[in-house]
Structure 1
């Protein structure tokens, strides 16, 4: 009978194990039952190797205490068969035998045992061995839980994840990878990674993806590349692939993370096509707008604007200006000038003001009074413009001698007459409705008269000039405009105004067209 050592209560463990005791001697089974009970563990019994395999299949104990010399099946064979059947969960096997030769111990460990104790065994040694086994089981349990969590995470991600060994053999593939390549779950494990690579033609397989996934291409580790993959049915599709390398003992393992980017490339192609279509549309619009600009510009008689007495600037907020500046001399030597500002901006505003051009030039050629010119312009615009559209305007007619001027202002800021020193001598407020608002009648066409002096200059401008606002929400304002007039000679004022507006905006976009027209009050040059 095996000798029993002294048992103390402080050797008991709080982690209870299920222990399969395999021994054909009842006294030994009883002794192990007493030891295990004292340590807080549960004992399950078998009298030989055959019964041990049955109990192992039924109970899956946490560990096994295995005798060697037993009928029907000895401990060596039973240990080997348990190892074959244990699967992924490790079951510690400790041989407890009276056989104590080196050959017996080696044979027992080679059969698959984790430890070997020679009978008789003292309780102290047995308890120490059990604590060691418990620690190892706890470590194994934690490692298994960690692996299970990692496996669960790998299975849950939408990207395909595979692991490949140094020989290019797939060790594992998550469900997303299997689905991506058209294989059943776990069907990729054990296959060469080359099955995932797309062939460039019908003769040979492209090795680039295979080499990349197997870490065989220098400079690819740790990078993300776009490569072609091949599904199980032969379909080739684009992949985004990243590979990392793990060094485990003396071996390398490669982890490939793959994403099917077919949909993304389709979207990119659609976006590129839309962008190209928009660019073509934009280019066509630019060509059409340039043609429209040239046609509208051709309607303006530039001869009158080249008169030395005429100074002007037009700074559109967009490609087209809704402001119009025209000037023309009549056969009688009178100088007619108009600054018009149509409602809105851009092409629509520019089109709105175009109908006045042929009427303006035709009536100037007939040397009509300014009041009649205003009435005819109003009638044309009232007929041609839709409701809600109109044209603000300032018109002036300087007589041949340059010492008297007729003025009409409606819907634009006041017109001013400045002296040779640039100071305002007289203001002409906007006291009429814009052109095109109401039908032409005797009212609304009245003009003002003003005598002029040598060196005087008549100044008209659109509201975009004084309302020009910079990034600090500061408007250009009337005071700045009059300061420009006072501080510059008359032939420099229009350029100075253009520069002052640009400096005020400091790169900010103008919200309205900015135009100004200045007439020197001087005799007709011919």
Structure 2
């Protein structure tokens, strides 16, 4: 406790001059500079003019008694503690009680005992200094709180800027997000990003804990998600990288339950991967048709293991197909009676709602159930119309995106990637090639189309060439699921074979062209039969669509070596 180094002052209020002199003499010895008042009104006026450390107050005085004067003085104290000691000849309990009620801190009975007065003054002095110390601490805490609030708002600004780059407004995606009471940050995170070749990635995360600690994990997740999606990486590659990042850099016990959705506009499929979130619900085209996709993987950040495609569930996208996913905060909402909302009420909303009003019905149901109770966990729920999404993201409708961010290098160059069976098990060469194009300032205007061409030619070489899969398998819902399970099995067991992809930019008259050549060592196919097939009226039948899409984007496509080699020419205007 610090010492008071300033000149201590005291206000002595008494209508008897002899009492004022006695008390003044005693307090002078205690080191006080004394001021005097003969009644309560005069004391209040003097208190407003001067700053005092102690007040000695008589009770019975003319004009204004000590009770009323003390009330007014205490009202003027504000954030400062000025002890008031009543001076009284009365000893009855009622009088002493009024001393306390009017704001007095102690009392001294007449005649005065200098020893007792000294003890009371010393005690009041300790109380005053303690109050000063507590006041200073309070001010420091208030200042600290202001600084913390400023830092939180600054962090929130950065958080919103980073995560907003990984969120796009989509007419076929509805969501409701509600942050727990008295929290600036949410532990839930929803990210969306368009794929380069048409399609969509959606990631819903629920981090451990709440508030800022939970939101910290959202920053690296957002950066990885948007960067790897833009470069064309597949679902398994992205979640593997996120998992490693969280496991490597975040504290033990911190993890992220997540669901990753991949809408593929080329194959018209939806891939679903669930790691720790509640069952995802996929409503089919029929009113009573629905599928539940449970969690099949540990939450991200717990272990450092690779994440393969074996936990990915694949469904064909059909008319009116709607996906619904949510974080566990939705079903764990409690009301004033500490009753949990639960899965049964949510299921009832599913049964009683149409897809057009499902989200709003769930929101209203939860809010009505919770009433005025505090929200103890963040809530996020997402409704995605898969059919509308794949129609909007259809690569057949790729449009040139006007941009001046990059211009191509007006020179001839070439690069080749040669992947063995072991390499093909681990990763796709497409993101590497796209990264090469970006590094040489390949024009952004055509990146999406080039990605589509590379993806389709590589997919044909791997799936149909090396793995020997037939597109006809995917003609039914069961066939879709079986196709991708068989693809995973065959790729895992692939012992030999290779795929070689070369890119070459060459000058052709006044323009440059990009020559894309893909070769594989697997089975060939009758490319004349495939390319001569009529366009299927149902655009959601995937068989043969990839080849026709490549033909529509390229100025020339040639097959050789019984279909094992394909060479595509894409024209690049040199002036843009």
Normalized against structure 1, the TM-score is what? Answer: 0.54
Cross-structure match for 2:365: 500
Post-superposition shift, 1:409?
0.4
Query: 1:405 touches 1:450 (CA, 8 Å); kept in 2?
Result: yes
Higher relative contact order (CA 8 A, sep 6+): 2
Match of 1:441 among 288, 295, 306: 306
Alignment of 1:453 onto 2:299: no
Q: Distance between the aligned counterparts of 1:421 and 1:224, measured in 2? A: 80
Match of 2:210 among 345, 349, 353: 345
Cross-structure match for 2:16: 168
Cross-structure match for 2:169: 306
**1:256-309 deviation per Cα after TM superposition (whole angstroms, max 9, x unaligned):** 945754444433333332222211111111111111111111112457430111
Query: 1:422 touches 1:487 (CA, 8 Å); kept in 2?
Result: no
Cross-structure match for 2:184: 319
**1:86-107 deviation per Cα after TM superposition (whole angstroms, max 9, x unaligned):** xxxxxxxxxxxxxxxxxxxxxx
Q: Distance between the aligned counterparts of 1:382 and 1:180, measured in 2? A: 72
Post-superposition shift, 1:365?
1.5
Q: Look up the SS of the partner of 1:359 in the other structure.
A: helix
Match of 2:134 among 266, 271, 282: 271
Q: Distance between the aligned counterparts of 1:422 and 1:265, measured in 2? A: 75
Cross-structure match for 1:373: 238
Cross-structure match for 1:329: 194
State which drifts further: 347-356 or 298-307: 298-307
Query: 1:304 touches 1:327 (CA, 8 Å); kept in 2?
Result: yes
**1:17-38 deviation per Cα after TM superposition (whole angstroms, max 9, x unaligned):** xxxxxxxxxxxxxxxxxxxxxx
Alignment of 1:241 onto 2:68: no
Post-superposition shift, 1:355?
1.2
Q: Look up the SS of the partner of 2:392 in the other structure.
A: coil
Q: Look up the SS of the partner of 2:258 in the other structure.
A: strand
Query: 2:39 touches 2:62 (CA, 8 Å); kept in 1?
Result: no
- Aligned in 2, Cα 1:513/1:444: closer, same or farther, shift over 3 Å? farther
Q: Distance between the aligned counterparts of 2:310 and 2:228, measured in 1? A: 15
| C-alpha RMSD of matched pairs (Å) | 4.3
Match of 2:220 among 349, 352, 355: 355
Alignment of 1:216 onto 2:216: no
Query: 1:398 touches 1:405 (CA, 8 Å); kept in 2?
Result: yes
When Rg is computed on C-alpha atoms for both structures, the one with the higher figure is 1
Post-superposition shift, 1:338?
0.8
Q: Distance between the aligned counterparts of 1:348 and 1:365, measured in 2? A: 28
Query: 1:382 touches 1:436 (CA, 8 Å); kept in 2?
Result: yes
Query: 2:167 touches 2:190 (CA, 8 Å); kept in 1?
Result: no
Match of 1:282 among 121, 124, 145: 145
Q: Distance between the aligned counterparts of 1:304 and 1:444, measured in 2? A: 25
Once the two structures are superposed, the pairs formed by residues 54-69 of structure 1 within 5 Å of their partners are none
Post-superposition shift, 1:440?
3.1
- Aligned in 2, Cα 1:442/1:349: closer, same or farther, shift over 3 Å? closer
Cross-structure match for 2:338: 473
**1:355-387 deviation per Cα after TM superposition (whole angstroms, max 9, x unaligned):** 121211122223333222222222222222232
Q: Distance between the aligned counterparts of 1:512 and 1:457, measured in 2? A: 26
Q: Distance between the aligned counterparts of 1:345 and 1:384, measured in 2? A: 18
Q: Which runs of 5+ in 2 are unaligned?
A: 1-11, 31-35, 75-81, 92-98, 109-119, 394-576
Post-superposition shift, 1:441?
2.6
Q: Look up the SS of the partner of 2:198 in the other structure.
A: coil
Query: 1:415 touches 1:458 (CA, 8 Å); kept in 2?
Result: yes
- Aligned in 2, Cα 1:370/1:379: closer, same or farther, shift over 3 Å? same
Query: 1:488 touches 1:496 (CA, 8 Å); kept in 2?
Result: yes
Q: Look up the SS of the partner of 1:338 in the other structure.
A: strand
Post-superposition shift, 1:340?
0.7
- Aligned in 2, Cα 1:273/1:402: closer, same or farther, shift over 3 Å? farther
Cross-structure match for 1:151: none
Alignment of 1:407 onto 2:275: no
Q: Look up the SS of the partner of 2:224 in the other structure.
A: helix
Q: Distance between the aligned counterparts of 2:13 and 2:171, measured in 1? A: 85
Q: Look up the SS of the partner of 2:311 in the other structure.
A: coil
Normalized against structure 2, the TM-score is what? Answer: 0.50
Query: 1:397 touches 1:406 (CA, 8 Å); kept in 2?
Result: yes
Q: Distance between the aligned counterparts of 2:370 and 2:238, measured in 1? A: 36
**1:331-373 deviation per Cα after TM superposition (whole angstroms, max 9, x unaligned):** 2221110111111211111112321212111222233332222
Q: Distance between the aligned counterparts of 2:287 and 2:129, measured in 1? A: 66
Once the two structures are superposed, the pairs formed by residues 505-516 of structure 1 within 5 Å of their partners are 505-516=370-381
- Aligned in 2, Cα 1:280/1:489: closer, same or farther, shift over 3 Å? farther
Match of 1:485 among 345, 350, 368: 350
Cross-structure match for 1:391: 256
Q: Which runs of 5+ in 1 are unaligned?
A: 1-161, 185-191, 229-236, 247-254
* Higher fraction of helix: 2
Once the two structures are superposed, the pairs formed by residues 98-137 of structure 1 within 5 Å of their partners are none
Post-superposition shift, 1:443?
4.9
Match of 1:416 among 278, 281, 285: 281
Q: Distance between the aligned counterparts of 1:291 and 1:402, measured in 2? A: 43
Query: 1:468 touches 1:510 (CA, 8 Å); kept in 2?
Result: yes
Match of 1:525 among 383, 392, 396: 392
Q: Distance between the aligned counterparts of 2:125 and 2:293, measured in 1? A: 70
- Aligned in 2, Cα 1:210/1:276: closer, same or farther, shift over 3 Å? closer
Q: Distance between the aligned counterparts of 2:127 and 2:236, measured in 1? A: 68
Alignment of 1:297 onto 2:164: no
